[in-house]
Structure 1
Amino acid sequence: MSMDQDFGAAIRELAQGGGPVLEALAKQSENALQHAGLDPQTALLVRIAALVALDAAPASYLVHLGIADSGGMKAEAIEATLIELAPLVGSARIVSAAGKIDQALRELSTP
């Protein structure tokens, strides 16, 4: 396998919500939350809001939703965040985020 093929495989794996790059990003994100000066739930909601504003890929949500799930965050907190963001980012961005969050949640629930 060439370097291009190896890189392509790694990127596809990341885009599909897995692999060593996603694992490294998850560890990095979790460590950053411990040093942000915010309580973990607030920090995660800020990060999710940024992902919505950026129209991030489902794999990006996957990292943060995994941390939120393990920390016991309620779905209502994420839903409230989406509602608060709607006037700022627009309905299209919220609907896009909802679909990507749903896709990420399906990835989390897949064994």
Structure 2
Amino acid sequence: MTTSQDTPVLDTLAAMTLDSLERCGLAPDTLILTRVAALVAMDAPALSYVAHFKAGAEAELTPEQIQDVLVAIAPVVGTARVMAAATHIAEALGIEIAAAMPAPEG
């Protein structure tokens, strides 16, 4: 099990995300979807998406909503950027699953 001492940077980013939910006038789901769109536009790495997963889950976002955002922004950011983002999101999901799994014994 990872602790905040194991992942201080990721934990700080996650805390910043949660804090901004409290300070922003947007609904939590809209805020996270907006951030996903910004991450796609920036060609952000997988770890950037991981920092938003907890807040997205708390906002009860669905995979379909994330897909809808990717479809909506594709004409603006381009298909290559959207395909790269889909790859980064899939990788981020793998990172999150791996981090949540207990370390193998032995």
Query: If the length of structure 2 is used for normalisation, what is the TM-score?
Result: 0.84
| d(CA) in 2 for partners of 1:72, 1:97 | 21
| d(CA) in 2 for partners of 1:90, 1:21 | 30
Counterpart of 2:45 in structure 1 is 57
Query: If the length of structure 1 is used for normalisation, what is the TM-score?
Result: 0.80
Flag structure 2 segments of 5+ consecutive residues without an equivalent: 1-5, 102-106
| d(CA) in 1 for partners of 2:55, 2:95 | 14
1:93 to 74, 81, 85: 81
| d(CA) in 2 for partners of 1:72, 1:108 | 17
Within 5 Å, give how 1:20-99 maps onto structure 2: 20-99=8-87
When the two structures are aligned, how many residues end up with a matched partner?
94
Cα displacement (A) at 1:47: 0.4
Q: Which amino acid aligns with 1:54?
A: M
Indicate the structure with greater helix content. Answer: 1
Cα displacement (A) at 1:66: 2.6
Cα displacement (A) at 1:49: 0.3
Flag structure 1 segments of 5+ consecutive residues without an equivalent: 1-17
Greater relative contact order structure (CA < 8 Å, 6+ sep)? 2
SS at match of 1:56: coil
